Amino acid sequence: MSLSAYIPIVGLFALAAAFGLFSVAIAPFVGPRRFNRAKLDAYECGIEPTPQPIGGGRFPVKFYLTAMLFIIFDIEIIFLYPWAVSFDMLGLFGFVEMVLFIVAVFVAYTYVWRRGGLDWD
């Protein structure tokens, strides 16, 4: 295998880097400057980095639980996509395996539901 197959990838990297550099460099010169309060806030979500909040900026553990629960289903979907694409090839065996996988995720979900992981308060 020759290395020439990789030249487009190198080109893509170069293009991406050039685009990033160009956008950052050109923005101060051509962009409009209209500042207001919302512009200076952290973008959409997240904790204000300064001034340091009292107690290190703690937030309730519920957010963390919800995020973790989201990841469980996120990963389930990630595995479902390639299976759905090659469903015909995998046949009955693939179907049974996927049902088992979904059951396993459902077991974890049932645990969270029954033990109050879905209650906000």
Partner 1 sequence: MPELKLPDIDYAALLPMLILFGAACVGVLIEGFVPRSVRNMVQLVLSLAAMVAALVFVIRRAGEVTAENAATIGGAIMIDNMGLFMEGALLVLGLVSLLLFGERTLERGGAFVPHAAVTVGSERDREQAVDSGATEVYPLALFSLGGMLMFVTANDLLTMFVALEVFSLPLYLMCALARRKRLLSQESALKYFLLGAYASAFFLFGVAMIYGFAKGVDFRAIHEAVRGSETSPTLLLIGLALVAIGLLFKIAAAPFHVWTPDVYQGAPTPVTAFMAACTKAAAFGALLRVLYVGFDGAKWHFTPVLGAVAVLTMLVGAVLAVTQTDLKRLLAYSSVANAGYLMVGLLGGNKDGLSSTLFYLVAYGFTVIAAFALVSLVRDADGEATHLSRWAGLGRRSPLFAGIFTFLLLAFAGIPLTSGFMAKFGVFGAAIAGDQTWLVIFGVLTSIVLAFPYLRVVVMMWLSEPGETTPSVSIPGVLTSAVLGIGTVATLLLGVLPGPLLELADQASSFIR
Q: Give contact residues for partner 1 (rule: CB under 8 A).
A: 61, 86, 88-91, 93-94, 103-104, 107-108, 110-111, 113-115
- What lies within 8 Å, CB to CB, of 108 at 6+ separation is 72
Q: What share of the chain is helix, strand, coil (3-state, %, to 5)?
A: 75, 0, 25
Q: How far is the CB of 115 from partner 1 (least distance, A)?
A: 6
In this structure, what token pair is assigned to residue 57? 């900026």
Give the integer Cα–Cα distance in Å for 117 and 69.
Answer: 9
Which residue's CB is nearer to partner 1, number 26 or number 68?
Answer: 68
Q: How far is the CB of 44 from partner 1 (least distance, A)?
A: 29
Closest CA to 69 of 115, 104, 117: 117
Which residue's CB is nearer to partner 1, number 19 or number 87?
Answer: 87
**DSSP secondary structure string for all residues of 92-117:** HHHHHHHHHHHHHHHHHHHHHHHTTT
Q: How far is the CB of 110 from partner 1 (least distance, A)?
A: 5
Q: How far is the CB of 23 from partner 1 (least distance, A)?
A: 35
Which residue's CB is nearer to partner 1, number 7 or number 85?
Answer: 85
Which residue's CB is nearer to partner 1, number 9 or number 89?
Answer: 89
